[in-house]
Amino acid sequence: MARPKATPEQREKVRRSIQAAAAEIHRKEGITGISARAVATKAGVSVGTIYSYFGDLTGLMQSLWTGRVSVMEDQFRAQAAEIADPTERLAALLKTYLAFGVDQAALYRGALMFVRPAVLETPDKQPLSEFAFPTLLRAAIVEGQSAGRIVDGDPDTLTQLLWSGVHGVLALPVNMDRLDLAPAEKLVGDAVEGLMRMVRV
pLDDT single digits (tens) 157-182: 999 999 999 999 999 988 888 999 99
144 and 84, same structural domain?
Answer: yes
Residue in 25, 96, 102, 33 with CA at minimum distance from that of residue 64:
25
98 and 10, same structural domain?
Answer: no
148 located within any domain? yes
Helix, strand, or coil here: 198? helix
21 and 81, same structural domain?
Answer: no
> Residue 43 is part of which domain span?
1-55
A 10 A CB-CB count for 30 gives 10
What is the distance between the alpha carbons of residues 24 and 116, in angstroms, rounded to a whole number?
18
Q: What is the pLDDT of residues 33-81, one digit of tens each?
A: 788 899 999 999 999 999 898 888 878 877 777 777 788 899 999 999 9
70 and 19, same structural domain?
Answer: no
148 and 184, same structural domain?
Answer: yes
What is the distance between the alpha carbons of residues 130 and 49, in angstroms, rounded to a whole number?
27
What is the distance between the alpha carbons of residues 40 and 42, in angstroms, rounded to a whole number?
6
